[in-house]
Amino acid sequence: MENKVIITVVGKDTVGIIARICTYLAGSGVNVLDITQTIVQGFFNMMMIVDIEKASKNFGEIQKDLETLGEEIGVQVKAQKEEIFEKMHRL
């Protein structure tokens, strides 16, 4: 469980969001386990569960890189370790 990370992407829909995020992840050795995305009235929302066990970068580097990538493509990208995400989203 300590290798699973939740990535959320939110912003105005544009071409290539998924491609840019997935290209970065693949290039960093991050495995996508699950992905869901929706577009509501022109706004893009995606949630991914990824495994960073074999990643070439540590979690902090991946987190920062994804935030920077999000700024470049005009969306907000957040990465949280699964255990933190679960604790923050309990009812």
Domain-wise residue ranges, the chain: 4-83
pLDDT at residue 2, rounded to an integer: 76
**Residue 85 pLDDT > 70, yes or no?**
no
Q: What is the pLDDT of residues 17-73, one digit of tens each?
A: 999 999 999 999 999 999 999 999 999 999 999 999 999 999 999 999 999 999 999
Query: 3: alpha, beta or left, given left = phi > 0 and alpha = psi -120 to 50?
Result: alpha
pTM: 0.88
Residue 63 φ/ψ, nearest 5 degrees = -60, -50
- CATH no. of 4-83: 3.30.70.260
For residues 62 and 2, the model is more confident at 62
Give mean pLDDT, residues 70-83: 93
